[in-house]
Structure 1
Amino acid sequence: MNRLPACCAPLQNHWPLPRPIPGAVLVSCAFDPARLGNDDFDRANIERTASLQRSVAKRQAEYLAGRVCARAALQQLDGREYVPGTHEDRSPLWPAGISGSITHGKGWAAAVVAHQTACRGLGLDQESLLSDERATRLAREILTEAELQRMDPQHTGLVVTLTFSLKESLFKALYPIVLQRFYFEHAEVLEWSADGHARLRLLTDLSPQWHHGRELEAQFCLQGEQLLSLVAV
């Protein structure tokens, strides 16, 4: 029997983003690494690998919370009992025919899943809002020259955090499809609006279908000092 780990708050089955994705399910939970119990992995019936056993409590708790959310999302999607394993590149190993994504940040984890007939790829990412000072230091590592020129200096922290998160979500959505790594300089955020809509463009060729100039829609929301973004293909 699967029980909720002591480090996890009750699961939430909700859609915090502005626009639902037909056929997709999102489950989240708050978690506290300080409450991680020695038997939490056993309680949840989730394997604690050798590398996880060597990890600090924060890493163990965020992994556990993310997998608990992923299993619950899959159960709601089609009733299956499945905990995603981990590829050698550390990405989640989803069942055949399933697209999914897991994210975890400061005390919060979430997973989104869908059948590939509904979504070929899903990328979900959560980030803590950067201060304007830190965002200014990091901007040139994350933003292209065009993005830097378009950036409103009055919202540096939000723009840099949002750009980082959207590009992370884009990578998570496309990597399982193209099986090719790409980086911050290989995509740009063309526009975003306060209602949570954003649009991105690829700046590199990843495959014949996913080529330089291909544009994708994205969405995001703010939850206090946390930003959540999603790219669905």
Structure 2
Amino acid sequence: MTPSAQHLSSLETLSDGFLMDVRTMDIGSATASAVIARFDESRFADGLFTTLDVDRPDRLDRAIEKRKAEYLAGRAVAMAALASTGHAPTQIATGSNREPIWPAGMAGSITHSKGRCAAIVTDQPGTLVGVDIEDIAEGSSLDAIFKVALQPEETRLIRESDAQALMATIVFSAKETLYKALFPAVQQFFGFNHAELHRVPGETVLRLRLTKPLKNTVTAGTVFDIGYRQLDRSVITWLVTPVPAG
């Protein structure tokens, strides 16, 4: 068993049922490593921070158990992703905008949602990395996506799909992934209307196009191909790409 495989296996054993099905995921990248897992909030205990060797920030003192569990799960898989690239599973601090601060020379992204978590890391300089997990929306959540996250043309494309809820969730998640990937490079908050679905999604990839420039770093019209996969009643989307020329 390789050191990275040993690290993944030990996470499940040490976590006493908190982390489950910890595994690497093929995202079609030769330069980045992805680790995905499930976690059981009911099995969370503060002592797991020490057991799993994850630094517990002071700001979590006032957090609810759900938030603590999400933070621990996300950081644990992120450190496992670092290990799977051949690097030591270094601690990952948090920035002023709650973004993960990666070790020098590394870039990555972390996500968690309702019992699932994932992280992608790379040691390639000048790389944008984003990942997001979402439950497939329904009811008021689905209505909110159509109202807040989608533009008229995107809505038209999705309404023509035989799986509207799935497609709407994937596009919403893809926009979240794009934001996570671009923010470290542009240091600018931007909304869902800054990117639009470029065409009907393929089976595993969809294309988003920027509708506005971002701080003269990324120009309007730049396109990003974002991978996606369905996980039971959830979807995961990801982006690993060089920073585009301004």
Q: What TM-score results when the alignment is normalised by the length of structure 1?
A: 0.90
AA aligned opposite 1:21: S
Q: 1:137 to 1:206 in 2, by over 3 A?
A: closer
Query: Equivalents in 2 of 1:221, 1:10: separation in Å?
Result: 17
- 1:55-74 → structure 2 map (5 Å cutoff): 55-74=63-82
Residues 31-61 of structure 1 deviation map (CA, whole Å, 9 limit, x = unaligned) = 1111112311111121222221221111111
CA contact (8 A) 2:31 2:124 kept: no
- 1:81-120 → structure 2 map (5 Å cutoff): 81-117=89-125, 120=127
Query: Equivalents in 2 of 1:178, 1:104: separation in Å?
Result: 23
Q: 1:150 to 1:193 in 2, by over 3 A?
A: closer
Q: 2:138 aligns with which of 131, 141, 152?
A: 131
Matched residues, percent identical?
Answer: 31
Query: Equivalents in 2 of 1:227, 1:70: separation in Å?
Result: 19
Q: Offset of 1:207 from its aligned partner?
A: 3.8
| Alignment of 1:141 onto 2:141 | no
| Alignment of 1:197 onto 2:169 | no
Q: 1:138 to 1:27 in 2, by over 3 A?
A: closer
Query: Equivalents in 2 of 1:149, 1:192: separation in Å?
Result: 10
Query: Equivalents in 1 of 2:145, 2:35: separation in Å?
Result: 31
Query: Equivalents in 2 of 1:128, 1:74: separation in Å?
Result: 26
Q: 1:137 to 1:44 in 2, by over 3 A?
A: closer
The equivalent of 1:214 in structure 2 is 222
The equivalent of 1:12 in structure 2 is 23
The equivalent of 2:128 in structure 1 is 121
3-state SS of 1:121 partner: strand
- Which consecutive unaligned segments of at least 5 residues does structure 1 have? none
3-state SS of 1:230 partner: strand
Q: Offset of 1:97 from its aligned partner?
A: 1.6
AA aligned opposite 1:104: H
Between 1 and 2, higher relative CO (CA 8 Å, sep ≥ 6) is seen in: 1
Residues 108-135 of structure 1 deviation map (CA, whole Å, 9 limit, x = unaligned) = 1111101134x61110000000116641
- 1:159-178 → structure 2 map (5 Å cutoff): 159-178=167-186
- Which consecutive unaligned segments of at least 5 residues does structure 2 have? 1-9, 242-246
Query: Equivalents in 2 of 1:138, 1:168: separation in Å?
Result: 12
Q: 1:72 to 1:178 in 2, by over 3 A?
A: same
- CA RMSD, 1 decimal: 2.0
AA aligned opposite 2:150: L
Q: 1:78 aligns with which of 77, 80, 86?
A: 86
AA aligned opposite 1:50: D
CA contact (8 A) 1:132 1:156 kept: no
Q: What TM-score results when the alignment is normalised by the length of structure 2?
A: 0.86
The equivalent of 2:236 in structure 1 is 228
CA contact (8 A) 2:186 2:217 kept: no
The equivalent of 1:157 in structure 2 is 165
| Alignment of 1:41 onto 2:49 | yes
Query: Equivalents in 2 of 1:67, 1:134: separation in Å?
Result: 27
